[in-house]
Amino acid sequence: MRILICDDDPLAIEQIHKNLKSFFTYKHIKCPEVISYSCGEDLLNDTGNKDIVFLDIEMPGMNGIYVGNELKKSNPAVIIFIVTSYSEYLDEAMRFHVFRYLSKPLEQQRFFRNMQDAVNLYHTSTLLIPVETKNGVHAISATDIIVVEAAERKVMVYTVQKNYESVRNMAYWLDTLPKSCFFQTHRSFIINLGHITDFDHTLIHLTNQLTAYLTRRKYRTFKDAYLLYLESMR
């Protein structure tokens, strides 16, 4: 993991650094590499991985909105925090799917909660799941898996790009897929909560026009899990 901070205020950079160090110490995790920049141009010129980025909005030259848009163009998976005193930019920031909007001065407990969500998302988005078929093994990003379906003595893994017939059973997939974003809605379906478009009491619509059954007795538990997932993504 690599974390970048971009702010023209040295005190703001210092505060984010301090909170990051406290967070990883509290979690008993080695603090990853943290790089700081005072302008957007220098940040965009950085050739290293940009996994989590803290962006100010009001900066000389390129503002944070422009920088955030450019970051998302080059890496849609980048996790962006907007850290600013200017709430009027919230709507613009949300257009490029900013992960969180934090107000200055930072409040530590809220910072910790949001960083935990960011770390969870990072690990899920970088997690590769081995999909074993009769022809070999394919490493698939967990976020690309839409649904796993058991049908006619086969287990199919539907992904954003391609579909695979797995040699593993549903018990394996239920144990392997991260429970933070996958849910078994029916004995024949395990779905990725991030690929839901809408649902009712019996049917769930997913990315790529796929559907999955929802057992009526699981409706409330499923709805609660989905709302909790959405809350963690806000």
Give tens-digit pLDDT for 150-174: 998 999 999 999 999 999 999 999 9
Helix 108-126 vs helix 10-26: crossing angle, to nearest 10: 70
Do 105 and 141 have their domain in common? no
Contact 148/177 with Cβ under 8 angstroms? Answer: yes
Q: Which amino acid is at 159?
A: T
pLDDT score, position 100: 85
- Give the C-alpha separation, 15 to 105, whole Å: 9
Mean pLDDT score across all residues of the chain = 90
Residues 6+ away with beta carbon under 8 Å from 18:
none
Residues 6+ away with beta carbon under 8 Å from 184:
174, 190
206 three-class SS: strand
Looking at 125, 154, 175, the residue that finishes a domain is 125
Looking at 65, 100, 125, the residue that finishes a domain is 125
pLDDT score, position 125: 79
What pLDDT digit, counting tens, does each position of 186-198 carry?
999 999 998 999 9
Report CA Rg, the chain.
Answer: 20
- Cα 206 to the chain's mean position, in Å? 18
pLDDT score, position 99: 83
CATH number of domain containing 178: 2.40.50.1020
What pLDDT digit, counting tens, does each position of 43-96 carry?
999 999 999 999 998 888 888 888 998 998 888 788 999 998 766 656 665 565
Q: What is the number of structural domains in the chain?
A: 2
- Report the pLDDT averaged over residues 99-104: 86
Looking at 83, 106, 125, the residue that finishes a domain is 125
Does this model's pTM top 0.85? My answer is no
Domain that holds residue 25: 2-125
At residue 214, what are phi and psi to the nearest 5 degrees? Answer: -125, 120
- Report the pLDDT averaged over residues 199-204: 96
- Give the C-alpha separation, 90 to 94, whole Å: 6
